[in-house]
Amino acid sequence: MNSDMPNRAGPHLVSGHPPSAPSAPGARPPLQHRVAIVTGGTGALGQAVTLRFLTEGAVVAVPYAVAKERDQLCERAAPADRGRLVTEPVDVTDLAAMTAFVERTVAARGRVDILVGAVGGFAAGSLLETDEATWRRMLDLNLTSAFAATKAVAPHMVRARYGRIVLVASRAVVVPAGGVIAYTVSKAGVIALAQALARELGPHGVTVNAVLPSTMDTPANRAAMPDSDRRGWVPVEAVADAIAMLAREQAAHITGTLLAV
C-alpha cells in the first residue's frame, strides 16, 4: 500500500498471523479485567470473537440487532463466562445510539479497552447494476458502523491512554475488483479509516489495525455458494485468533497494519 504521508504508523499488508502462545498453567488470562465492545458480535465471526474474548477473561459488551442470534450467542457462552457477557439492542450505524451504548458500558464497567468492528454486509453488483439503496446500505453496514463505533470509544481510550481497535475489512478489496462496487468501496473505506486512525490515535496509546479475511467458512457463505470449493475458506476461529492477538496488551507496537487471514 502506498502513501504520500510519512510512515509513522506504518501501514503494512501482512499475510497470515502468528499463532497465539498458549497460556502457562495458572497464568492470568490475557484479557482478564479488560472490557471489550464487539459490534457484529452475534454474527458468525462476531460470535467466534466474543467467545474467544470471554475465554481469555474479558468482559464483552455486544450491541445486537437480531434477537435469535443474540440467544444463540448466550447459549454458546460457557456458564462460567455468561456473567461477563452484556448484550443490548442497538443500531450500530447510528452515532448517537452507539455513543449512548458505550457510555452505559463505561458507567457500568469503568472503562472500555478494546473495540472490534465486525459488523458487515455483502451485496454483489457492478456500478450499472447497483441502485442507491444498495449503495447506502453497504456504506452504512460496513463503513458508517465502523465510524460510529470508533468515534464513540475513542474519547475514553484517549483519556485512559490505552486502547486496542481492530476493524474487519476484506482481503478481496486490497486490489479493488469490479462487480461488487458498493461492497468494495465500503470495505476499502474501512481500511483507510483504520490506517488514518492509527496515526491519529497512536500518540495516545491506542493501536488501530484491520484484519482482512478471505472467504470465511460461514453458514451464510455456504448457502450463497453451495457449489464452491471450500478448501481455501478460512474458519472464523482463525480470524478470531488474529483479532485476539491484536487486542492484547502485548500488541502495543503493532498499529496501522493490514493483517490478511
Banded model confidence at residue 24, pLDDT cuts 50, 70, 90: low
CA 76 to chain CA centroid, Å, is 20
Nearest to 11 by CA among 25, 1, 21: 1
- When comparing pLDDT for 16 and 14, which is higher? 14
**Percent of the chain's residues with pLDDT above 70:** 90
Nearest to 207 by CA among 145, 153, 142, 260: 153
Query: 143: number of CA atoms within 13 Å, CB side?
Result: 17
What are the C-alpha distances in Å from 55 to residues 29, 37, 64, 82, 110?
8, 15, 20, 10, 21
Contact 149, 72 (CB under 8 A): no
* Residue 47: all three cell numbers together: 460470535
183 catalytic residue (yes or no):
yes
Return d(Cα 166, Cα 153) in angstroms, integer. Answer: 12
CA 107 to chain CA centroid, Å, is 23
Alpha helices for 28-163 (secondary structure H): 44-55, 67-76, 95-109, 132-138, 145-160
Banded model confidence at residue 26, pLDDT cuts 50, 70, 90: low
Nearest to 141 by CA among 161, 168, 115, 107: 168
Q: What is the mean pLDDT of the chain?
A: 90
pLDDT of residue 13: 61
Nearest to 85 by CA among 147, 42, 119, 27: 42
Q: Which of 1-15, 33-47, 114-128 has the lowest mean pLDDT?
A: 1-15
pLDDT of residue 199: 98
pLDDT single digits (tens) 202-221: 999 999 999 999 877 777 77
The average pLDDT across 85-108 equals 98
Exposed / middle / buried, residue 10 (Cβ in 10 Å: 0-12, 13-18, 19+): middle
Instruction: Report the amino acid identity of residue 110.
Output: G
The average pLDDT across 135-147 equals 98
- Kindly tell me if the per-residue pLDDT of 45 is higher than 60: yes
- Kindly tell me if the per-residue pLDDT of 19 is higher than 70: no
Q: Which of 85, 182, 183, 257 is catalytic?
A: 183
pLDDT of residue 215: 79
- Kindly tell me if the per-residue pLDDT of 163 is higher than 60: yes
- Kindly tell me if the per-residue pLDDT of 16 is higher than 90: no
Banded model confidence at residue 227, pLDDT cuts 50, 70, 90: confident
Tell me which H or E stretch contains 210.
strand 206-212
pLDDT of residue 219: 77
pLDDT of residue 211: 97
Contact 103, 155 (CB under 8 A): no
Going by their DSSP bridges, the two strands 257-260 and 85-89 should be labelled as unpaired
- Domains of the chain in start order, with CATH, are 12-19+30-260 (3.40.50.720)
pLDDT single digits (tens) 74-93: 999 999 999 999 999 999 99
Contact 247, 60 (CB under 8 A): no
